[in-house]
Every structure is written in structure tokens, then in C-alpha cells.
Amino acid sequence: MDELGEVLSFKDRSFGVGVVGDPYPVLAERRARAAAHAGAFSAWFGIDGPEQVVHGSCPHVSVLSYKGVETVVKDDATYSSSWLSPMLGDVVGRSVLEMDGDEHLRMRRLLQPAFTKRETARWEHEYARPAAVRKLEAIQGRGQADLIADFLFTYPIEVILSALGLPLADRDRFYRLAVELTNPLAPGDARATASERIADIVLALIAERRVHPGTDLISLLASSAVGGDRMTDDEIVTFCRLLLPAGAQTTFRGLANVFFALLDNPAQLAAVRADPALIPRAVEEGLRWEPPMLATGRTAVADADLEGMTVVAGCSVNILFGAANRDPARWKEPDRFDVHRAPKGHMGFGGGSHICLGISTARMEMRVAIEEVLERLPGLAFDPAAPRPEITGLGFRNPTTLPVVFGAN
């Protein structure tokens, strides 16, 4: 990962990775005082996060309680997803993430055929499990590895590239383009170039698949229709620009956090190894305890009262999924990772009408990764000779390394 990992370093620093350690004590203290606060949350940690840089001229409200976050994500009429437009719109295109109302419903309907249970099962059989096995077979005889560098960092994007019908040999190039595209603090010309290059690649694939369709995702999007309505070429390109970074980076971060939690709690790792039925619970608990994206935002389009805080139209509303997921009003001992915790809805995948479209696919990829690691790397534990890893970040959160040791299989 050394060379490829450098691609993420600037973006990660922009979102607090390696800069902000554990934000949860500060968030808990703030939440105990009030469920919502005036101001941009990254300022509480002495950094200028993307929400300040992009929406700095607006008044800000940051909401930390589960109830408050749930209110925002479920009220599209008051809190618009157009908040993302200045960050992504110019280079990604008008994506489902920033749409509201009927426009959003139409796009989700058109995309849904790509994320059915049947498609998720096919992805597992054809893309995810083969990728996990291939990557783990390369390290299982070594006895030690960096679980991130050697597996987790590139596993999700290899799944996505295979699903799109793109060559794995070009993996690093696609990763670089995806990261440059979605970093709102990167130079504008670099982002524009990445956008154009992805469009060229995808448009060529669309043209080919319309003549010679296959079973890949591009073929499905190009051929499917809902009530006679079809996605345009530009809409498919926009979705692919979104899928490459969102699916690859978010799933990687989520997996890294779950494995950190299991390795940091050997008794729970042993419990999951002994009872594979606990693996889905480990995924959900990991996403609750340490979601890969701590926060996002909405733009208020009408005046409102939010948990006692006055929100005015035009205000930038910072919704802190991570703080909501550790709200003691909803969970007992919320700072503790516990695979035996009774399942309860969380904000690891967002919520409301904009809940992650690929939620089933992401859960499947994470489950498959844990299954294959436990099968192929017996005795997995943190490497006692390596520096102890830690999860850092503010906008995004994940460890950047997971040095491990394991026995021969």
C-alpha cells in the first residue's frame, strides 16, 4: 500500500485522519450539555474541516443526539441533501446523494435493480469471495501481515472493478482517480481531470455493453428500465463516479474499524471465531461503534427548531452519525464495542430516504471478508512487536495500519 496509500494521505488529513485521535469524549461532553450546538463541529478540534471550507459563509448548527440526527435525515422537506452539491456536483455530476423529492425517488428506483438480494448474492459468488480468497491466499503462509495494506485497502475496489467489468490491472489508476475526484480540498484542475478520465472510460464501456451486453453492472444499468424510464449515459457515468470512491473507501474504512475492534477485544474475536453466526452482529456493532464516516450535512431550506436550537433557512446542518451512534439515551455503555449487544438501528449507513443504497452489498462484502480472514488466518492477533495501531479522524475514521500475526493454516 505504500505508493497507493499516498494517494489517500492528503484527503485523509483533510478529514482529520492522523490528526484527530479520539473525538468521542468531546462529542459526549457537548451532547450532555445540549443535543445541538451552534457552529461547525470540526472547529471544536482546531481544524478546518470540509464543512467549514465549503460552507464557511453559512451559519452552522451541529447535531449530536440520535433523536436529532434521525429528525434531520428523515425530514427531506426541511433539510436538503443539496448540501453536497458544492462538494461533488461540479466533478461527479448530479448524483443521487444530492437529490431530493421526486428526483431522488426516480434515481433510486432506476438504481435499485443493481442492488437486489439476487444481485447481492451474485456479487458475493462472482466478485467478493473470489477477491477475498485471492488476496488472503497471497499472505496466509507468511505468519504476519499488515491486514490493511495486504488485504482491506484494495479488497473493496477490486470487487467494484470486477462488478463494473473494469480490468484489475488498472486498479491503482482507478483508485487515484476516485480519491482525487472526491476530495473537495484538492486542486480543482486535478478533480476535473479525474472526472473526465472516468467519464471517458465508462462511456466507452456503455457503448460496448449496449451492443454486447454482459452480466456486469454497466450492462445492467444500460439495459434496465422502470416503467419505461431508463438511465441516460450521463447518469450512468455520474453513478460510476460515485460508486468507485464511495464503495471502495467507505467499505475499507468500515472493515478496518471492525477488525480493529475485534483484535482489540480478543475474547470477542474468539467468540466470533467460535460462532460465525455472530459475524453479522460484529459488522453492525462495528458500524455503530465506529462508523467510517463520522459526519455529513444538510442545508436547511426552511426555518426550524432542532432539539431546542433555532435553525434558519440557508443554515448548514452538520449531522454527526458517530455522536448519534454513541448516544447513551439509546445504548447502554455506548463507548463499548460488544458483539453480543442486542441489535438496534444505528446511523452507520445514514438514515431516512438517503440510507445507503448499497447497504446489502456493503454488509455482504464485510461479512465475507471476516469469514475468509477467520478461516484462513488462525490465531489472528495484533503483532506484539509492532507499534499499536489506533483509529483516528474526524470526517472519516479508520486505522491506517493493522499489523497482525497468525498461524499457518
Give pLDDT tens digits for 151-172.
999 999 999 999 998 888 888 8
Q: Please, what is the average pLDDT of the chain?
A: 90
- Helix (H), strand (E) at residue 119: helix 117-123
Euclidean distance between CA atoms 149 and 127, whole angstroms: 20
Euclidean distance between CA atoms 383 and 177, whole angstroms: 33
Strand partners, 38: 61
Question: pLDDT band at residue 9, thresholds of 50, 70 and 90?
Answer: low
Domains and their CATH numbers in the chain:
2-378 (1.10.630.10)
Question: pLDDT band at residue 347, thresholds of 50, 70 and 90?
Answer: very high
pLDDT in tens, 210-248: 889 989 999 999 888 888 899 999 999 999 988 888 777
3-state SS, residue 369: helix
pLDDT at 249: 84
Q: Which phi and psi angles does 146 have, rounded to 5°?
A: -100, 110
Mean pLDDT of 9-32: 79
pLDDT at 190: 83
Percent of the chain with pLDDT over 90: 69
- Cell digits for 404? 497482525
Residue, of 191 and 100, whose pLDDT is higher: 100
pLDDT at 227: 87
The answer to whether the CB of 372 falls within 8 A of the CB of 273 is no
pLDDT in tens, 43-86: 999 888 778 878 888 899 999 999 999 999 999 999 999 998 88
Strand partners, 304: 311
Indicate whether 12 pLDDT > 80: no
- CB atoms < 10 A from the CB of 19, how many? 15
Euclidean distance between CA atoms 172 and 207, whole angstroms: 24
Distances from the Cα of 240 to the Cα of 221, 236, 307, 339, angstroms: 10, 6, 37, 34
Mean pLDDT of 195-220: 91
Four-residue CA torsion sign, 377, 383, 386, 387: positive
Mean pLDDT of 352-370: 94
Question: pLDDT band at residue 90, thresholds of 50, 70 and 90?
Answer: confident
Q: What is the pTM of this model?
A: 0.92
Strands 60-63 and 36-38, by their bridges, are: antiparallel
Four-residue CA torsion sign, 6, 8, 14, 16: negative
pLDDT at 409: 61
The answer to whether the CB of 299 falls within 8 A of the CB of 284 is no
DSSP letter string over 102-113?
Answer: HHHHHHHHHHGG
pLDDT at 1: 45
pLDDT in tens, 323-334: 999 999 999 999
pLDDT at 20: 83
Euclidean distance between CA atoms 156 and 1, whole angstroms: 14
pLDDT at 170: 82
Indicate whether 7 pLDDT > 60: no
